[in-house]
């Protein structure tokens, strides 16, 4: 019976890690939505700051645990592979710097104007108390960059793309991660969701070309931090 099912599903045991990576997206996204999203959990760590800032930082910590720690442990100890092959290496430095030099000015200008849009201002910063109290702004944004954006890029542009490209092809792997990362934006402003699809593909291609997540990490983190800063100031 099991052999018939395997034949019907075209199941190949050699692809078991591929299936696990594919299933990790809906599983981790579901866990994140119901156990690491504001309104669905109480903070584990209590910092001396506004309640919503504390909640957001705890959200970043949980996101890091789900999308960096768990995948890294799986790759290192189950797949027994080097993490640098999943985008954590420095990659093509020369090409990466060219990308940053070209896109950073574009991002700064684009976010300057986007941050004035009503739907964007209603969404960001995630902790609205930052609009009146910036005493912990540096700590907040640092946690945002380290625990949220590094985890984001490692999982979507690293684990999914580099873990799936040999099985499905480069561009198909980029599309898979773009679909998955887009789902995290559900509930955000419509323009941001549409933009996440386009940016997801572009950033995915850059990660592939540079063989590293660090260049798109800089760009993505810059988008997030500048959005907050332009709205606050």
Domain boundaries, the chain: 2-232
Does 85 score more than 90 pLDDT? yes
Does 146 score more than 80 pLDDT? yes
Does 154 score more than 90 pLDDT? yes
pLDDT of residue 186: 87
Ranking 138-142, 155-159, 187-191 by mean pLDDT, the lowest is 187-191
Nearest-angstrom CA–CA distance, 94 and 184: 31
Mean pLDDT for 73-84 is 96
- As a three-state string, the secondary structure of the chain is CHHHHHHHHCCCHHHHHHHHHHHHHHHHHHHHHHHCCCCCCCCCCCCCCCHHHHHHHHHHHHHHHHHHHHHHHHHHHHCCCCHHHHCCCCCCHHHHHHHHHHHHHHHHHHHHHHCCCHHHHHHCCCCHHHHCCCCCHHHHHHHHHHHHHHHHHHHHHHHHHHHHHHHHCHHHHHHHHHHHHHHHCCCCCHHHHHHHHHHHHHHHHHHHHHCCCHHHHHHHHHHHHHHHHHHHC
Ranking 7-11, 16-20, 208-212 by mean pLDDT, the lowest is 7-11
pLDDT of residue 8: 56
Mean pLDDT for 30-51 is 95
pTM: 0.94
Does 178 score more than 60 pLDDT? yes
pLDDT of residue 73: 98
pLDDT of residue 11: 63
Mean pLDDT for 141-147 is 98
Ranking 51-55, 191-195, 222-226 by mean pLDDT, the lowest is 191-195
Ranking 11-15, 115-119, 133-137, 162-166 by mean pLDDT, the lowest is 11-15
Model confidence band, residue 3 (pLDDT cutoffs 50, 70, 90) = low
Mean pLDDT for 17-46 is 95
86-138, pLDDT tens digit by residue?
999 999 999 999 999 999 999 999 999 999 999 999 999 999 999 999 999 99
Mean pLDDT for 161-166 is 97
pLDDT of residue 187: 87
pLDDT of residue 232: 98
């Amino acid at each position: 019976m099991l052999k018939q099912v395997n034949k019907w599903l075209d199941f190949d045991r050699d692809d078991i890690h591929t299936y696990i990576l594919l299933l990790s997206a809906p599983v981790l996204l579901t866990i994140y939505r119901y156990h690491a999203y504001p309104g669905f959990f109480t903070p584990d760590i209590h910092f001396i700051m506004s309640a919503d800032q504390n909640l957001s930082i705890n959200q970043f910590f949980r996101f890091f645990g789900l999308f960096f720690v768990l995948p890294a442990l799986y790759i290192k100890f189950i797949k027994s592979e080097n993490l640098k092959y999943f985008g954590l290496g420095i990659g093509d430095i020369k090409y990466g710097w060219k990308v940053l030099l070209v896109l950073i000015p574009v991002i700064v200008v684009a976010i300057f104007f986007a941050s004035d849009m009503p739907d964007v201002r209603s969404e960001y910063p995630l902790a609205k108390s930052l609009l009146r109290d910036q005493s912990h702004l540096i700590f907040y944004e640092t946690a945002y960059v380290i625990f949220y954006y590094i985890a984001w890029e490692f999982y979507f542009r690293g684990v999914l793309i580099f873990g799936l490209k040999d099985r499905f092809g480069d561009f198909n792997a980029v599309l898979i991660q773009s679909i998955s990362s887009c789902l995290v934006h559900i509930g955000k402003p419509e323009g941001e969701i549409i933009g996440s699809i386009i940016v997801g593909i572009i950033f995915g291609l850059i990660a592939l070309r540079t063989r590293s997540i660090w260049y798109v990490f800089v760009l993505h983190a810059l988008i997030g931090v500048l959005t907050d800063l332009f709205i606050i100031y």
